[in-house]
Amino acid sequence: MRSSETTIDTGNYALVIHGGAGTILKERMTSKKEAAYKAALTQALQAGYDILKKGGNSLDAVEAAVIVMEDSPLFNAGKGSVFTNEGKNEMDAAIMDGKSLMAGSVASVTTIKNPIIAAKTVMLKSPHVMMIGAGAEKFAKEQGLNIVDPSYFYTKERWEQLQNAKEKDKIQLDHTDSIKSHSFLKQPENHDYKYGTVGACALDIHGNLAAATSTGGMTNKRFGRVGDAPIIGAGTYANNNSCAVSCTGWGEFFIRNVVAHDVAALVEYKGLNLKDAAEEVVMKKVPALGGDGGLIAIDRKGNIAMPFNTAGMYRGYVKKDGQIVVEIYK
């Protein structure tokens, strides 16, 4: 029997979360906003910890932590999701169980209040792994999930970010030129993930791992673009044989590097410890292709890694002792 199918009572448990990586500089942060981020991260950690300390499972813990961040306008997920070029909010989310290797994800949804709940419902209530767009929304509605008007996701700050992005990236399509010359096919100059993807990874008292990730994607994104967050193995992965991973950053590079699974593979097949495996991918492989970002990870022994190659990453963790640690800058 694979070790991922076994249950062990380790007596140990821990939770690690992130709220996005990017150009997060202390000199640009007001004390009020910094306090708000720390409070939201603390609340998310507490929500997951409350489940773990009662003997609850890691899957429920990561879901609870992510829901808190989805409900906060501070993060690019759920309520705080950024706008597409068309002025819409299109959200993605994924969740994975390290014991069974079951997973669920949704992409390009616009009316589901908490996409992470939809992802978990896809995993538990359907034979599928991923659902997208209108189909995912129809499924969520049939399952009794909270469906809201798209206006729920509107925030003034995100709307202004879209307008600023459009100003910086004015696109004039000249149909007489080759499509390859159009700027939207090139790497975006304004790829700041300051208000980024959220995620959580947990180890429960039974020795089982889980990972969850949720995002509003990229500001000013076009053509139904989907990043790494809802793609199992790219932005989200969990396996009791190795670790649980949730990523944040420039999604295209995380997809191409299959980052989440790559970290797990280095742990399982090469025998690297969690810290070395995570840093190998985030600090070497992703930048080598021109990408940036970070990730959080936890293994079955409760070891935690939170590497990032950007100026900062909203992050935090809590272990069995209940001591909550929250960090933002390098």
Give catalytic residues, as residue numbers: 197
**Helices within 147-193 (DSSP H only):** 156-168
Do 274 and 303 meet the contact criterion of CB atoms below 8 Å apart?
A: yes
d(CA 313, CA 24): 7
Residue type, 150: P
Do 324 and 15 meet the contact criterion of CB atoms below 8 Å apart?
A: no
Residue type, 151: S
d(CA 85, CA 185): 14
Backbone angles phi, psi at 73, to 5 degrees: -75, -5
Do 264 and 290 meet the contact criterion of CB atoms below 8 Å apart?
A: no
Do 291 and 321 meet the contact criterion of CB atoms below 8 Å apart?
A: no
Residue 150's closest CA among 93, 106, 89? 89
Tokens (6 digits) for 270: 């090469």
Which residues are CB-neighbours of 35 under 8 A, at least 6 positions away?
A: none
Do 312 and 258 meet the contact criterion of CB atoms below 8 Å apart?
A: no
Could you tell me the sign of the dihedral formed by the alpha carbons of 51, 55, 57, 58, in that order? positive
- Strands of the sheet containing 293-299, edge to edge, are 236-238, 243-249, 293-299, 304-305
